[in-house]
Amino acid sequence: MSKELFNFELVTPEKVIVSGSVSSVSIAGVEGDMTIFANHSPIATAIRPGYIDINSDSKSEKYFLTGGFVQITGSDVVVLAEKASLENEVNLEMIEKIINRTKSSMEKATDLQKCVLAKKLNDLTIIKNQL
């Protein structure tokens, strides 16, 4: 496996959580999981609720994201997430809270939004059952 590094940033509204050079990042994209290495082709995709694995030379970190967006340009990978929590901070109560919120926002959404939210709900339920 190549050890080429690229710039990675995990940004939430409240602060920049991770910023630095990493060797690979695994993301749960809406169209399927993917692992990004250096020199990935430009792509922008939404992220479904799930885990993100960040591997650099010395360490690897795992965060839970409630959803978000990743943008990959030639040299930079930026993940915009509404909320990121460390893997060990994830608990049933937290997931249920998010599920309830998603349900309530579904009531007043447009059709297209409902479609997005329904997928999200599905993913959250799967994660909940895994806990």
Partner 1 sequence: MPNLKDLKNRIESVKSTRKITKAMQMVAAAKLRKAQEAAEQARPYAEKMSIVIEKLAFSTNASSNSPLLVGNGKDKTHLIIVATSERGLCGAFNSSIVRLAKNHINHLISDGNHIKILTIGKKGREQLKRDFGDYMIEHVDLSEVKKISYDNASNISDNIISKFFDNEFDIATIFFNQFESVISQIPQSSQLIPIKFKSDELTNDDNISNFVYEPDEQEIIEDLLPKAISTKVFTALLENGASEQGARMSAMDNATRNAGEMIDKLTIQFNRSRQAAITNELIEIISGAEAL
Residue ranges that bind partner 1, judged by CB under 8 A = 9, 11-16, 29-31, 41-46, 67, 69, 71, 73, 78, 80, 82-83, 105, 108-110, 112-113, 115-116
- Tell me how far, at minimum, the Cβ of 120 lies from partner 1, in Å: 9
Cβ proximity to partner 1: between 115 and 126 the closer is 115
| Measured distance CA(73)–CA(92) in Å, rounded | 35
User: Smallest Cα–Cα separation from 84: which of 101, 98, 103, 105?
Assistant: 98
Is the four-CA dihedral 99, 100, 102, 103 of positive or negative sign?
Answer: positive
| Measured distance CA(131)–CA(115) in Å, rounded | 25
- Tell me how far, at minimum, the Cβ of 9 lies from partner 1, in Å: 8
- Tell me how far, at minimum, the Cβ of 31 lies from partner 1, in Å: 4
- Tell me how far, at minimum, the Cβ of 3 lies from partner 1, in Å: 26
| Greatest CA separation for the chain | 48
Cβ proximity to partner 1: between 57 and 96 the closer is 96
